[in-house]
Structure 1
Amino acid sequence: MMNEEALHQYFRQVCDDNDQDAYNELYKGLCSRLIHFSAAITGSWHLAEEIVSDVFIMLWRKRAQLAGVANPVVYLYVCTRNQSVNALRQQRRHQHMSLDHLDTEAFAISPDTEQNMLSAEVTQKIESAIRSLPTRCQLIFRLVKQDGLKYKEVGELLQISPKTVDAQLAIAVKKIAEAIRLDMTADTAQSYLFR
């Protein structure tokens, strides 16, 4: 996963220098994460891909106006969330988006991303423990621990307080640690849960 600093730098190069190579790198660095996020909201991979594509097209078209965006990653997550909710409304499948009805399968750990850190078997056990969490708790865990967003950023994205993010994350880490403790060493569990 591309680090936050590199993503910010690419965003600045897109906005300030009209740099298409930076735009491509930004897309590569965030595309998969945003598609997973959108698919969790919409329940459709195809729709999620279209939405993320639209978000990046909008980014390119409005790049000159976006130079003042303080946190580009959160900005693109919020755009993706808004586009996803709007797509659902247009389809009239849902009148109100609830975090309790997200498609949590769309957030599954990508084996190629995590393979360097943990074996496939351990990854499956962790994924099973994550999937057993309540939906909101699971979403918060994935946004913080897998996508690398800060508590404040997740709070802004989900329209909840950072204290709620902290409390939900603590619950998630405790439940996951309890669920996988018997199957892995304490050091391995700690390295994954608290990285």
Structure 2
Amino acid sequence: MPRTTDFTDSQLLEMIRDGDVAAFKLLYLRYFSALCKSGFRKIQDDKVVEEIVQDIFVDLWRKRQELEAGQEIGAFLNALLRNKILHEWRAQQIRQRHVEMFSQLNTTVGDESVSEQFYANEIQERLNAAICNLSPQCRQAFELSRYEHLSYREISERMAISVKTVEKHIGKALKILKLELREYHITVAMLISIWLQM
């Protein structure tokens, strides 16, 4: 394998745009440590920083054909690093707010079930608000499934639409609701579980 000093950034960029895996590995070796050091100055967690930098290179490879010729790759990678660190900061702040809120509830009331119920109520309120914002047909299909427990076939007959359209509406609803509840780290499986319990 060639050394990292055998090519300029511009040459590596051109090869990466053409799908050259070896060039990508050279760029990775050239910038990985420097990006980790830069990230660690902002987030003092080696594991988190390394995961962020790994994600940056994954994104770079996936979007390699969108890279512009002559682009300053070092500046581009550092910009991606800053954006991902900002996202991680926001996620940490949200998690910390939840921890502090539950801690205060437990200290005041001394009952973990209270904080759990508070959290569940908050999620349910967000879920209900998100359902209200769905498009009329999407919302109707979702509510017939959720409230009346109708099958897709029964919903299609009630709404005079195809079963495939029902599947599309409910799939879209779940996708939107998951997006609305992303700060709670709700997966589709968890969302369905919450939905069935309501």
Settle same-fold status: TM greater than 0.5: no
The structure with the larger Rg is: 2
Which protein, 1 or 2, shows the higher relative CO under an 8 Å CA cutoff with sep ≥ 6? 1
TM-score by length of 2: 0.43
